[in-house]
Amino acid sequence: MKLFYAIMLFILGSVLASFYGVLSTRGPIGESIVKPRSHCNKCKRVLHFYELIPILSYIFLGGQCRSCKTKLPIYEPISEIMLGLAFSLSYLYYGVSYEFFMALVLSSLALNIFISDFKYMIILDSPLVVSSILILIIRFIYQGYRGLLVSLGSGIFLFLLMLFIGFLGKKLFKRDALGGGDIKLSFVIGLSLASLSMPYVSYALIALIFSTFLALPYSFFSLSSEISREVPYGPFLISATCFVFVFLEKFSYLVNLFTI
């Protein structure tokens, strides 16, 4: 039975990934997610339902449009497999628990940010708002009012901290060092990484510091090769958050250093 649920969760994850793909590529350019219907970006032909099945369609179509033979974006089947795996593995690892539901929310948010921030340098509001609400609901169900308050306090603290860092960066470098999306995202990071046994924002601060180390090699590579002058920070923030979330207990000895 456990395997059955894991397979169902894999399918759910891949279907959601395909929806997030549409949301994160259409949202930033102001297109609706329902109209126009899914179509080939080159020849504009509306896709049949059998061309919209996550992962399988890509394999059966040989990775190209049926009529104009344009290559389909490879990140689509990859993201569908990744989110499917994230959903089913977190079920197998955590069982139905607080960690499991949080993992569903965080992996979904991560995928949205990866697509829209790398592609358009934008973090959409809708995934941030939906994730915040879901996290607060999960907190309340599993941890009651105390979990809700600790989580909110941590979210607000991290949001204000990033707002201050952004303000400082702007004064020093005379340009936007942090995007508005990154600052809003830090609220969600604070919400998700507050720990009840250590009711401070220590884990969120670790994620913040860790994310700058993750972003450094990429920034260096992309600025030196002049791929782009701007580096998206969101994907590194959310990756660090997921990492700290999964290995939360392993960080407990470090936490004392960051206790405020």
**β-strand partners of 46:** 39
| Shortest Å distance, C-beta 71 to Zn ion | 10
The yes or no reply on residue 43 touching Zn ion (CB under 5 A) is yes
| Shortest Å distance, C-beta 128 to Zn ion | 33
| Shortest Å distance, C-beta 73 to Zn ion | 12
Judging by beta carbons within 10 Å of its beta carbon (0-12, 13-18, 19+), is residue 116 exposed, middle or buried?
buried
| Shortest Å distance, C-beta 47 to Zn ion | 9
Q: Which are the contacts of 260, defined by CB distance < 8 A and separation ≥ 6?
A: 200, 201, 202
The pair phi, psi for residue 71, each rounded to 5°, is -65, 135
Contact 87, 13 (CB under 8 A): yes
Of 111, 134, 135, 136, give the one whose Cα is nearest residue 123. 111
Choose, by CB under 5 A, the member of 9, 23, 40, 103 that binds Zn ion: 40
The yes or no reply on residue 39 touching Zn ion (CB under 5 A) is no
Q: How many CA atoms lie within 13 A of 49 on its CB side?
A: 0
Q: Whose Cβ is closer to Zn ion: residue 50's or residue 167's?
A: 50
Q: Whose Cβ is closer to Zn ion: residue 41's or residue 97's?
A: 41
Site string for Zn ion, 51-90 (x = CB under 5 A): --------------x--x-x--------------------
Choose, by CB under 5 A, the member of 42, 48, 146, 170 that binds Zn ion: 42
Q: Whose Cβ is closer to Zn ion: residue 70's or residue 252's?
A: 70
The yes or no reply on residue 158 touching Zn ion (CB under 5 A) is no
- Maximum Cα–Cα distance across the chain: 60
The yes or no reply on residue 48 touching Zn ion (CB under 5 A) is no
User: How many angstroms separate the CA atoms of 191 and 200, rounded?
Assistant: 11
Residues that bind Zn ion (CB under 5 A): 40, 42-43, 65, 68, 70
